[in-house]
């Protein structure tokens, strides 16, 4: 095994672990935001991450066994890019067609500050 193959294998393995962490944290985020009705872009990003994970599993199998379905990774990478692009355009649509965007703090330190936050967000 030459150094180029080792380097490519290391990067593919790192991508596989990165995709596992992304899926894990994205699912945690979706669990906490399940009551929010405008989370569609996040669901699309989860789907794209799962597609990326499958693509990386196929790359890892190719490294271990040399087995590959020609063109499948290219198809998965295209699907990944399309899902990410659609998530961004959907988020752009949500931002531009909403009357306001609300960001809530967990809890205000004083009731006066909470009133100020609400008053400033209404303007």
Buried b (16+ CB within 10 A) or exposed e, 37-68: eebebbebbbbbbbbbbbbbebbeeebeeeee
| Domain hosting residue 83, numbered range | 3-122
Question: Structural domain tally of the chain?
Answer: 1
| Residue 89 pLDDT | 84
Whether pTM > 0.75 for this model: the answer is no
* Average pLDDT of the residues in 72-79: 88
Nearest Cα residue to 40 out of 87, 80, 83, 96 = 87
pLDDT tens column, 13-43: 888 888 888 888 888 877 777 666 666 777 8
């Amino acid at each position: 095994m030459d150094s180029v193959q080792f380097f490519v294998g290391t990067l593919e393995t790192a991508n596989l672990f990165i995709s596992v962490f992304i899926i894990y944290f994205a699912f945690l985020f979706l669990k906490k935001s399940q009551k929010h009705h405008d989370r569609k872009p996040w669901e699309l990003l989860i789907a794209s991450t799962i597609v990326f994970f499958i693509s990386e599993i196929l790359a890892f199998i190719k490294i271990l066994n040399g087995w590959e379905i020609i063109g499948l990774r290219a198809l998965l990478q295209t699907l990944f890019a399309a899902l990410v692009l659609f998530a961004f355009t959907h988020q752009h649509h949500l931002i531009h067609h909403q009357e306001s965007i609300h960001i809530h703090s967990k809890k205000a330190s004083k009731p006066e500050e909470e009133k100020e936050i609400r008053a400033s967000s209404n303007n």
